[in-house]
Amino acid sequence: MSYRGNSRAMTYVANAKKAVGSSIDTGYCLRYQRQWANIPSKYETASDSMRKTTLHKYDPKTTPVGAPIYWSIGAGNDKAGHIACYIGGGQVVTTDSPRGKVGIREVTELTKSWKMSEPFWGEHINDVRLIEKIPEPAKPKYPKDMTVTASLLNVRTGAGINNPIAKFSVDVTISGKKYKKGSLVQYPKGTIVTIYEEKNGWGRGIRGWMSLAYLK
């Protein structure tokens, strides 16, 4: 499963980058991070917000830009934890780096230097979603193997009953049954056919069109 930041996450990243170098009050990481994402106040600490979101193990290769990076234990064994804005390339915009300032740090380096817990990325800040799943691409409907349900199904040259029944151009064997060249293409019940496209209730097989009402 892949993930991406929504429009709020992009606002979060843009505002966080603008804040780099600015002076801030120390010890209020959640307050600044949520403000950059235009998220209202709700939880007191980063750990509180972390407990309420869906967490994923941090990996610079898969962590989406705009995700909040959470640490359950902050610098100095702080149980309030820490939160920072992931801007890609293994980097975050974080408060108090240096102290009283907003700075950009490597996630791994920040974790080690502050002696914090393992980093995770979350989908929310204060229950507000920033990260969403990327929908899986729709699987093509055809080609698809289907089974004849009629006692004998005519295969026609076009998509409609007014078209003539097709004829075999060569001798063939289909689902164990032999057909002679020039004979009508008519499949008995249980024959498996491959449908490549659909049109007005008819499906096109390799030798012509069949009514989908008699295929399953």
CATH number at residue 35: 3.90.1720.10
Instruction: Tell me: do 116 and 160 sit in the same domain.
Output: no
End-to-end CA distance of the chain: 31
Instruction: Tell me: do 185 and 121 sit in the same domain.
Output: no
Q: In sequence order, which residues have a C-beta less than 8 Å from that of residue 189 and are 6 or more positions away? A: 148, 149, 150, 151, 152, 153
Residue 138 falls inside a structural domain = no
Q: In sequence order, which residues have a C-beta less than 8 Å from that of residue 112 and are 6 or more positions away? A: none
Instruction: Tell me: do 106 and 185 sit in the same domain.
Output: no
For residue 152, what are the domain limits? 144-214
Backbone phi and psi for residue 112, each to the nearest 5 degrees, phi listed first: -70, -45
Residue 139 falls inside a structural domain = no
Instruction: Tell me: do 120 and 154 sit in the same domain.
Output: no
One digit per residue, the tens of pLDDT, for the chain of length 216 reads 899 999 999 999 999 999 999 999 999 999 999 999 999 999 999 999 999 999 999 999 999 999 999 999 988 888 999 999 999 999 999 999 899 999 999 999 999 999 999 999 999 999 999 999 999 888 888 999 999 999 999 999 999 999 999 999 999 998 888 999 999 999 999 999 999 999 999 999 999 999 999 999
- Amino acid identity of 194? T
Total domains, the chain: 2
Instruction: Tell me: do 21 and 112 sit in the same domain.
Output: yes
Residue 205 falls inside a structural domain = yes
Q: How far apart are CA 127 and CA 111, in angstroms?
A: 24
DSSP 96-137: SSSTTBEEEEEHHHHHHHTT----EEESEETTEE-EEEPPPP
